[in-house]
A and B are shown apart, each in its own frame.
Chain A
Amino acid sequence: MSSRYAVLPCNGLDKSVGCIAREIALGLVDRSESDLICPVLFRVSDARYSKMAAEKPLLVIDGCSTRCASKLAAEKGLKVAKKITVTEEVKNRNVKVGKSLKLGDSELELAGSVVEELLKEEKKEESAAGHEFSTITYDYEIYKKDKFIFRVPRTGFYFNENDCWVVVEGNRARVGVADYVQQSLSDIMFFTPPAIGAEIEQFGELGSIESGKAVFEVISPVSGVVTAVNENLISAPELINENPYEKGWIAELELTDFESDKEFLLDFEGYFKVLKRKVDEFHV
């Protein structure tokens, strides 16, 4: 599968590094399912690109330290998933680029190698992607306490009273922890995954996550065999804090007997009541 970014280059026309930024953007769009945002049009009218920028992770490509594309993204209130600055790439790769606005071999090679690296990084993320759960919809109900926001997905998710969730598609399940857990733990720094192939009983331990405050054992809502773990969490466990229901998923299992397991699980309404009670009783 190929990369899927919304790409916002600076498109700087008066420097070679701006032209290289454009070249990188075009290369990425050509070789993947990424889409291009025209910075000039975006500045004056964001309607055309707002949906794209919301649906795909945003890659900003600046030519130089003026960082026009980064500034534009900030002005429009966009969350930047990844950033490239061509002058930094030149320095880090120890290459020489000319001043001409027409790109020569050296500049094209640089652009090409940046695109290659971006495509490789995306492949690495996708290898941690496990099964494609195409039917999950993320529609959240919110409960607020003081300045803390607790989200609970309204449909498709089941929960146990240990604040762990599961989504099921056919015979496959994906498991993670609820917002209450990541708020309570604060910055999660360590992830101990379960072993691939491990047989897990319902309410058995499915790995653990740890912050400076506490260690939390992930209690599996379902019984099954572990088929995948979210490897991204090993180097970036903070993904659980960022979004525990989407990129912060923990593990996937092949189910043993979901119909029986389901009897002991809560749907959205049941869990939301449990959540409210916990939040009101305990200061997070």
Chain B
Amino acid sequence: MSLSRNLSITLICLILGVMLSWQYKSIQNNKKVASSQAGTLYTLQEELLAEKTKNENLRARNQELEEQVSKYINAEGNNKKIEESLMEEIQRSRTLAGLNDVVGPGVEIVVDDGDYSNVMDTHLLVLINEIRASEAQAISINGERIVAMSEIKMTNERTSPHIIVINGRQMQAPFVVKVIADPDKLSNSLNMLEGIVDRLRDYYGLEITVKKMDKIEIPKVHDDGSVLKYNLLNPV
């Protein structure tokens, strides 16, 4: 009698133990699966968003091309008109490449050495990148047009002021950065609290002024073969 009772209690305890451990494991597992799924969900959402903006931009480009093609179709037989359209397109590509002098509204930024610090290549790199992020259409530094392959190089860190090379030309502070862009939008994003102007002024100790302009003229890149090199590029 007492043996069977003991036996049954032992059995029940055994089952209980197994269940407990199983329970623990299953809950732990559920948690892990849930958190990894939430992570996957998040990255997928991000990827989808990125892909959608990409496609929007592609769509815009495609529409632009379709309009160009229909321009040529409509002008069939009219040689003068076709030549005009072609010239227009050449000009647009040249403008984008930085091969035309251009004028438009924008902002003039002057960056100068502070009392204790000098302008470095990275300061200018970050500034130009911020300017591009505010949809700038043309940029020059001390008269050098910033094109796709323009480098910003510091020759020697020990000289004061630093010597900076842009498009192969040496220059020193002050740096006059001319930008054609929406003046309000650009100056707002540059002057933002903790923005690039704040950082260069307060954190790096440089002098910097931003001035909105109705009309800014930006010269074309030197087209003497010293800046624009494309001898190693084969069109596909």
Q: State whether these chains interact.
A: no
